[in-house]
Amino acid sequence: MGHNHSHSSHTHTDLKGRNLFISILLNIIITLAQVVGGIISGSLSLLSDALHNFSDVLSLIISYIATLLSKKKATSNKTFGYKRAEIIAAFVNSSTLIIVAVILIFEAIQRFINPIPIKSGIVIWMALLGILVNGFSVLLLRKGAHGNMNMRSAYLHLFTDMMASVAVLIGGLFMKYFSLFWVDPLLTILIAFYLIYMGAALLKNSTRVLMLFTPNTIEIKEIVNILCKIGAIKNVHHVHIWQLNEQEIHLEAHIDFKEDIKLSEFDQILVEIEEVVYHKFGINHVNIQPEFGKCDNKKIIVQD
């Protein structure tokens, strides 16, 4: 017997979608400008920044599509709707961050081996443009990045690119006034390692959700111990806890009762269970199978 008890809040998906769309247009402009500037100046760090910006465009488009899909209602053959679209987008975007970083490291090593002079003036102006455009995009997405993995992945892409533009600007100034052209590939490598650092945590978190792992903030044995303190409950077993997305955490369990209680009594206990797991653990969807005297595996975790 199951029961659905939802406490999830509504998100401002229209506002998120608008801000993402504006950021996409801005990043297309800055990508084209940096590609042209990088080719003319010969700056690898500027081209790497352009490559990162291009990955931003792709990631923002993915995030935008995921935001639109997440608003679609559930159907008979898609009973959860597209609620996981934003998690998939976060996974893809964090993966691209790491892939782009590896490409940048490889290119930077080649530039160390074969250094070339760079027109630093173009690098400086393109870096300033990148800081302004990405800084504005970061401000647009900052609020939505809290509590939404998809928006956070888009925000991280833009934030890291803004920081990359700051690094490129510093490198341009060093090249202009001190002729230190090796600074260009060095900054590229630093940008790449920063991308890996930022992308790895998000990739890990999105993978945990997609693999239906129990959230790190929840200890299953603690839940079982608390529920077993409810007078009528003899045993809690066959437990599954997973996140559907960042707003929904699901609990599924078999509960063995001490007595053969009435259905109305079970409903009262179920309400108590729902309130306990929501307020203590943030679990907002509960599905309980009641049992009395049933011969089955009583372990907390059972291999299905």
Q: What is the DSSP string of 196-232?
A: HHHHHHHHHHHHHHHTTPPPTT--HHHHHHHHTTSTT
Between 256 and 141, the more confident residue is 256
Pairing of strands 249-257, 233-243: antiparallel
Alpha-carbon distances of 108 from 44, 99, 102, rounded to whole Å: 7, 14, 10
Q: What is the mean pLDDT of residues 4-25?
A: 64
Same domain? 197 vs 242: no
Same domain? 124 vs 177: yes
Tokens for 290? 């009641």
Please tell me the total count of domains within the chain.
2
Q: Is the per-residue pLDDT at 117 higher than 80?
A: no
Q: Is the per-residue pLDDT at 15 higher than 80?
A: no
Asked which of 184, 210, 236 is the last residue of a domain, the reply is: 210
Q: How far apart are CA 248 and CA 18, in angstroms?
A: 24
- Please report the pLDDT score of residue 253 as a whole number: 96
Residue 134 lies in a domain: yes
Q: Is the per-residue pLDDT at 269 higher than 90?
A: yes
Put simply, whether the predicted model's pTM sits higher than 0.95 gets the answer no
Q: How far apart are CA 41 and CA 48, in angstroms?
A: 13
- Please report the pLDDT score of residue 177 as a whole number: 86
Tokens for 279? 């307020």
Q: How far apart are CA 163 and CA 131, in angstroms?
A: 8
Residues, the chain, total?
304
Give the tens place of pLDDT for each residue, 187-216.
878 878 887 887 898 899 899 999 999 999
Alpha-carbon distances of 203 from 89, 93, 113, 151, 236, rounded to whole Å: 10, 8, 32, 14, 33
Give the tens place of pLDDT for each residue, 212-249.
999 998 999 999 999 999 989 999 999 999 998 878 99
Residue 215 lies in a domain: no
Q: Give the strands of the sheet with 285-291, arranged side by side.
A: 233-243, 249-257, 285-291
Q: What is the mean pLDDT of residues 173-181?
A: 82
Q: How far apart are CA 38 and CA 184, in angstroms?
A: 12
Q: Is the per-residue pLDDT at 10 higher than 50?
A: no
CATH of the domain at 253: 3.30.70.1350
Same domain? 183 vs 34: yes
Same domain? 103 vs 248: no
- Please report the pLDDT score of residue 118 as a whole number: 72
Average pLDDT, the chain: 83
Q: Please, which residues bridge with residue 250 across strands?
A: 242, 285
Q: What is the mean pLDDT of residues 279-286?
A: 94
Alpha-carbon distances of 120 from 35, 56, 188, 190, 284, rounded to whole Å: 15, 24, 15, 19, 55
Residue 178 lies in a domain: yes
Cβ burial of 8 (10 Å; 0-12, 13-18, 19+) is middle
Residue 193 lies in a domain: yes
Q: What is the mean pLDDT of residues 111-125?
A: 78
Asked which of 210, 242, 273 is the last residue of a domain, the reply is: 210
- Please report the pLDDT score of residue 229 as a whole number: 93
Give the tens place of pLDDT for each residue, 59-103.
788 888 887 887 788 888 888 888 888 888 889 888 888 887 888
Asked which of 188, 210, 232 is the last residue of a domain, the reply is: 210
Range(s) of the domain holding residue 249: 220-291
- Please report the pLDDT score of residue 5 as a whole number: 47
Residue 52 lies in a domain: yes
- Please report the pLDDT score of residue 125 as a whole number: 86
Of 24-38, 54-68, 142-156, 181-195, where does the model show the most confidence? 24-38
- Please report the pLDDT score of residue 234 as a whole number: 93
Same domain? 49 vs 158: yes
Residue 8 banded pLDDT, cuts 50, 70, 90: very low
Residue 6 lies in a domain: no
Same domain? 195 vs 240: no
